[in-house]
């Protein structure tokens, strides 16, 4: 991904804000494709950057890619656009509940990474939408390695849901830039 990453970094200075004063970058793709890793790489070269992880917006395995998630994502970006604030209630997966509200001044760059970040409901506010592709086998292997075997029982249903979501939303086709996550993440 190094060569791809450099090309991507070269695009960043030319981006314009579409969400208030913030430049929103979404990084979507199948579970285990390298979205979080890419978000870290990008945020390390950007001044004034905040990253929202979609995992913090889901409310457990039964509430992932649904209308409530879309509403939360839209509310976050509406707040960024209208109030120059990043405001949301993150979900604590260990406790199984929402925790203290995040409420910060909006950063110049807002990266939203994770499955569902590139959905159609927010595209008009996004300056750059990225898609990372990975084979289902490698993606699943990475997720289990990262999150432990306890997630293995939930992943088949999540993969079906993510694939249906991507198809419905035309996420891959709608991305401004596509990368391969097949290499080392």
Whether 22 is covered by a domain: the verdict is: yes
The pLDDT of residue 184: 54
Q: Looking at the domain assignment, is residue 75 inside a domain?
A: yes
CATH code for the domain of 17: 3.40.50.300
What is the count of structural domains for the chain?
Answer: 1
- Report residue 81: phi and psi, to 5°: -65, -45
Q: How confident is residue 183, by pLDDT bands cut at 50, 70 and 90?
A: confident
First vs last Cα of the chain: how many Å apart?
9
Q: Tell me the pLDDT of the chain averaged across its residues.
A: 93
Q: Is residue 125 part of a domain?
A: yes
Indicate the pLDDT class of residue 185, thresholds 50, 70 and 90.
very low
Domain residue limits at 70: 2-180
Regarding beta strands 128-133 and 177-180, do their DSSP bridges make them parallel or antiparallel, or are they unpaired? parallel
Structure pTM? Answer: 0.94
185 lies in a domain?
A: no
The strand pairing partners of 28, in sequence order, are 131
């Amino acid at each position: 991904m190094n060569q791809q990453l450099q090309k991507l970094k070269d695009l960043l200075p030319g981006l314009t804000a579409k969400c208030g004063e913030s430049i929103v970058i979404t990084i979507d793709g199948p579970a285990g494709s390298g979205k979080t890793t890419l978000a870290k790489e990008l945020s390390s070269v950007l001044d004034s950057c905040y990253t929202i992880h979609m995992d913090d917006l889901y409310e457990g395995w039964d509430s992932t890619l649904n209308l409530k998630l879309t509403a939360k994502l839209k509310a976050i970006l509406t707040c960024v656009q209208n109030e120059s604030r990043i405001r949301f209630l993150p979900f604590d997966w260990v406790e199984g509940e929402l925790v203290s509200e995040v409420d910060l001044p909006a950063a110049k760059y807002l990266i939203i990474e994770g499955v569902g970040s590139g959905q159609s409901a927010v595209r008009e506010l996004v300056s750059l939408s990225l898609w990372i592709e990975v084979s289902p086998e490698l993606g699943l292997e990475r997720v289990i390695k990262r999150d432990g075997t306890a997630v293995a029982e939930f992943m088949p249903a999540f993969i079906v849901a993510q694939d249906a979501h991507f198809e419905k939303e035309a996420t891959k086709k709608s991305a401004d830039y596509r990368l391969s996550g097949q290499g080392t993440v």
